[in-house]
Structure 1
Amino acid sequence: MKNKHCTILLLLLILSFLGGAGYWFRSLARPHKKVSKKTFLKKPVLFIHGYAGNRFSFGLMLKRFEKNNWGVKSAVVKVSSVGKVSVLGDPAAAGSMIQVLFENNRASIDEQAVWLRDILEELMQNYALKSVNIVAHSMGAVSVLSYLTNYGNERTLPEVSKLVTLGAPYNDIDPGKNSKTIEQSPMSVNGPLRPSAIYRKLKKMRHSIAAQTLFLNIIGDIDNGKSDGSVSVSSARSLRYLLDEHVYSELIIRGKKATHRKLHENREIDLKIRYFLYH
């Protein structure tokens, strides 16, 4: 009888754990109904994951920001594999942080740029958002830059006031997939000596980026100036040659917590993002 009771108790504990884990997992892709007592974030902030990204990509950062009362994850925007945009929650809430999730998380930069336009058009037309900030990781940041070069000056879309980029492979041949060797980008005073096709396209269209958009380019360095383990420092720094000096700022994070996948889990980076968005 005693063994039977122990077995039942163990099963209940397992079920309880699984239930709690399931709730936590679902919460990473759901908006929260919490009301912000502070309005630290003056403008809504969109969080854009990278290639093959998912709810974990920015889910934990969003939880940390909420815990610190920096904002509220008030909305989740999902884009289906055919580009249909659905909005859960209220993107216009005070201190709004908006998680963007692409069902086809391996789509091309051009596809994602179009989807970003559709998202921002939705936010403008149905939620009256006239200005937003964006935080983007890896290839997601390249897609945002592609969006800005193609649509950044359209008056029917919200202004992108500030963009934070994390570990972005601006001059990689294929910014999404990991290659066997990390793509280094030899530099001159004018930028990459061997610009990729994507970089050449961004450079050609760079004058379409709204002049008032400010950039914070955060770069990981775990091996003495070479890379974050996936993206070379030189590829990430290529952004500086596409922008005017007065709108561009750069931060290199070093050490074990500066790996590509840990950039959005680094508490030091949390604080840098907070400071940049606030000032």
Structure 2
Amino acid sequence: MRKYGLFLAAALLIYASFLTLEKSDHAVSDSQFTEPVLFVHGFKGTARSFNTMIARFEQRGWGERALTMNVTRTGRLLVRESPFSTERPALIQLIMENNRASFEDTSRAVAAAMQVLKKEYGIEHIKVVGHSMGGIVSVKFLQDLYDPALHPAVDQLVTIGSPFNGVAGGRWFTQNEGEAVYDLMPGSPALAQITANHAQFPKETQVLNIAGTGDQVTLLQSALSLNAIVPKDQYQLDILYDTTVDHSGLHETPLVDEKIGAFFHYQ
């Protein structure tokens, strides 16, 4: 009987620990989030996609990692908090486990993360940095899903190498698979819908569009198509004239950091 009692006590302790871990997924933080920045990776992106940029921002004193938000394939949102200084911008990384999902599904994941940031962390205003498809789904979120009652206002958006007119080259499409591959095709219905919904883009969001001459996935013409979606008085373009920096290299180079830092008034 005593052995049974010990077993039951151990089982209850394990169950309580499990509940604590579950609760920590959406733990309400008392921290003050200063000028938060959300980083959204692109097609096939992982934690590595923005890890180095965030580390460089930290080295420059432009902020500290505050949250890492993981969206599982089942749509569950897991949030990990990191100690950070409330005197510096709070850097937040969003990571999708299903990193080949459609624009529709990925933008909904962005919306879910934004809702948690407002409800659980009290964030009312935020900046967003999106690489490649991350820039596209951020725009789609703002057009179709943004609700000021549920989400923080996006004051500034940076798109990096985002193919608003589709990805270049047939080879890329034969080498990749997933719902997003169809969405990223030039002339796809998903891209056409984003262009058609240009009037729904929020009037309070200022945009910096960064494109590179060395990008063989997102050609300049495709990246520059964003100017048909964002109002002229909210739109800035900055081209990186360096043929040695390819598509993935755009979020790995300090040259792009400088452009973002100037836009965010960090320097």
- Tell me the TM-score normalized by structure 1: 0.74
Q: Which residue does the alignment assign to 1:67?
A: 59
Which of these residues, 86, 102, 114, is aligned with residue 78 of structure 2?
Answer: 86
Q: Does the alignment pair 1:54 with 2:41? A: no
Q: Which residue does the alignment assign to 1:204?
A: 196
Per-residue displacement from partner, 1:6-27 (whole Å, max 9, x unpaired)? Answer: xxxxxxxxxxxxxxxxxxxxxx
Q: Which residue does the alignment assign to 1:125?
A: 119
Question: Cα gap change, 1:63/1:257 in structure 2, threshold over 3 Å: closer, same or farther?
Answer: farther
CA distance in 1, matches of 2:114, 2:35: 14
Q: Which residue does the alignment assign to 1:254?
A: 241
**Structure 1 residue 255: deviation in Å?**
1.6
**Structure 1 residue 195: deviation in Å?**
4.5
Give unmatched runs, 5+ long, in structure 1: 1-38, 182-193, 223-227
Q: Which residue does the alignment assign to 2:226?
A: 239
CA distance in 2, matches of 1:116, 1:56: 18
Structure 1 vs Structure 2: percent identity of aligned residues?
29
Give unmatched runs, 5+ long, in structure 2: 1-31, 176-185
CA distance in 1, matches of 2:199, 2:50: 30
Question: Cα gap change, 1:206/1:240 in structure 2, threshold over 3 Å: closer, same or farther?
Answer: same
CA distance in 2, matches of 1:258, 1:104: 27
Deviating above 4 A after TM superposition, structure 1's stretches of 4 or more consecutive aligned residues are 90-93
**Structure 1 residue 278: deviation in Å?**
1.9
- Which amino acid in the other structure matches residue 265 of structure 1? E
- Tell me the TM-score normalized by structure 2: 0.77
Contact 1:171–1:198 (Cα < 8 Å) also in 2:
no
Q: Which residue does the alignment assign to 1:135?
A: 129
Q: RMSD in angstroms over aligned alpha carbons?
A: 2.5
- What number of residue pairs does the alignment pair up? 222
**Structure 1 residue 179: deviation in Å?**
3.2
Q: Does the alignment pair 1:101 with 2:101? A: no
**Structure 1 residue 209: deviation in Å?**
1.8
Show the 5 A alignment for 1:260-275: 260-275=247-262
CA distance in 1, matches of 2:78, 2:41: 17
CA distance in 2, matches of 1:174, 1:149: 25
